[in-house]
Chain A
Amino acid sequence: MRTEMPLSKPIRRILVHTEELLDTEISLLRQPEAEPGGTLVDKYTYDIDSNVIIFPAQYVGLLKDFIIAKHCTHLLIKGAAAKKGEYKVCSYNADGVYAGMRQIYIDALKDEAKKEKKLPVQKLIQMLFILFSHFNDDINEIPWNAIINADVYHRMPKIRKTQLYHIMKESKNDMDEMMEQESIVPRRYFVLNKAMFYARDMYLAKTLPADELMPVLNIPQMKKFNHLEVKEMLTTRWTHTAWYQSKVFGDNMLSIIEKPLGPVNWKEEPTLDYYYDLYKVGKLLTDNLIGYMTMRDWFVWEPPKHLLDAHDHKAEYEKDALKRIFGDLITDTLVGA
């Protein structure tokens, strides 16, 4: 372990455990512009020899410890799957981009038909791939976030308070995503985005357990649903709101999350097999969420390099998809703007 900072005992233990189990090295890096949740740059995703956990420079105590614990756990899951030759991520290809953008476009047109103030065509077209890409990022993040937090909770009781604070903060930031674009993004996708975070937060609220994590208590836009009578909730006043719909879809997604995670024995010996099993559960959970959102033909399970290559070719994929959707109506001027 290459580190230049004091670390509490549980964190030193998990770092050593991770390095030994995966026969690898981990460096810790403090950066002023790091993401609040830290970043894992690992050798199973990128073409590098060792792994780096990056965290915000201002985190000097337990907040950095939790970030390290979280990313070590993620590394263990990735590494265990990689050692079996089975580590894959949700990637995309040209056909998937076309399927996704086409579906988003159709849903956008349905929304636009009901609006008085229409979205400018250029903005609508630009939104298609951005939204597709956004869902690719979220589906590669949310299921694992739930699993990793559950594992850290069960294995590291001493950093529970830190974990709770971090999850509450992350939850508020996640729910704030897309808020500025609420009037632009088709309702379906706004709702599904919020629903995924709602389901994640509800799962963690039940697992930790921590009522404070329940979106109806933690998220300002959802507080109105707390203590609301079911009869009242079913009235038109509420059922037409995006946040109510997010709650309904979110409750369904919660069942999808709980099904594979319920039987997991979190106290099992933390061997490679245990983390490989967590990987399989995460993959199943991701597939089930993708199926629920009817996005099966959007994404493909491929090695991480495929996703990195997809990102390199995304402009090309977007352009091809637009050509397939709009034919000769699309011009380079419109696409390149």
Chain B
Amino acid sequence: MALKEAVEMAKKGLSYAKRTKYKEALAYYNKALTLDPNYAEGLFLRAAALIESGKYREGLADCDKAIAINQNLSEAWSKKALALYYLERIEDALAASTRASTLNANDVTAWYIKGVCLDEMGRSDEAQEAYGKSLELEIILDMHADAQRIRQKR
């Protein structure tokens, strides 16, 4: 169990990350991980912000640390796939995204990256399957988000 204070810091970081303010998000994630260096979720959240900021190797390193603590952290595998894709390590990205989608079948990004990687490798039919799955999930999420927006307006 992560320290309560670390979790609070990470939450603050996440609220900045959702507004694409990655510099501020990273500041909070760093504080969280100073408080608890083995906070796996904190590591993958920081990885996400690092990747969005273009720091792919550092992001990848954080993903690997998170996975070393918890092998079944699907979000960490998903971010790892993303970092590997940016680093043009397509086969490794495919392996990571496959692992992510196996652990969490509802991960849109994992399925999409899997599709992109398979496409790159010339495996078009499998790519279309992965894209199809990604689209299905993305539409469901989009419809839920729309329904929530309508409820909030009322």
Contact = CB atoms under 8 A, between A and B. Distances in A.
Given A8-B131, A30-B20, A31-B20, A60 B109 contact: yes
Given A4-B54, A6-B85, A61 B20 contact: no
A60 B108 contact: yes
Contacts of A4: 52, 54, 86
Interface stretch (B24-32, B37-45, B133-141): B133-141
B111 A6 contact: no
Given A32-B20, A61-B134, A8 B108 contact: no
Interface stretch (B4-12, B61-69, B113-121): B113-121
Interface string A172-192: 000000000000000000000
Contacts, number: 60
Contacts of B135: 61-63, 161-162, 165
A153 to B, nearest CB: 16
A61 B108 CA distance: 7
Contacts of A165: 135, 139
Given A8-B119, A31-B20, A58 B134 contact: no
A9 interface: yes
B20 A62 contact: no
B154 interface: no
Contact of B128 (A6, A61, A63, A158): A158
A61 B142 contact: no
Contact of B18 (A9, A32, A158): A32
Contact of B116 (A7, A59, A161, A162): A7
A60 B112 CA distance: 8
A166 to B, nearest CB: 9
Nearest to B117: A6
A57 B52 CA distance: 12
B19 interface: yes
B27 to A, nearest CB: 19
Contacts of A62: 112, 131, 134-135, 138
Nearest to A33: B19
Contacts of B82: 6
B145 interface: yes
Interface in A50-70: 57-63
A57 B112 CA distance: 15
B18 A61 contact: no
A58 B113 contact: no
Interface of B: 18-20, 52, 54, 82, 85-86, 108-109, 111-113, 115-116, 119-120, 128, 131-132, 134-135, 138-139, 141-142, 145-146
Given A6-B85, A58-B145, 14 more contacts: A4-B52, A4-B54, A4-B86, A6-B82, A6-B116, A8-B115, A9-B116, A32-B18, A58-B142, A60-B109, A60-B138, A61-B112, A61-B138, A63-B142
11 contacts: A4-B52, A4-B54, A6-B82, A6-B85, A32-B18, A57-B20, A59-B142, A61-B109, A62-B131, A63-B142, A161-B135
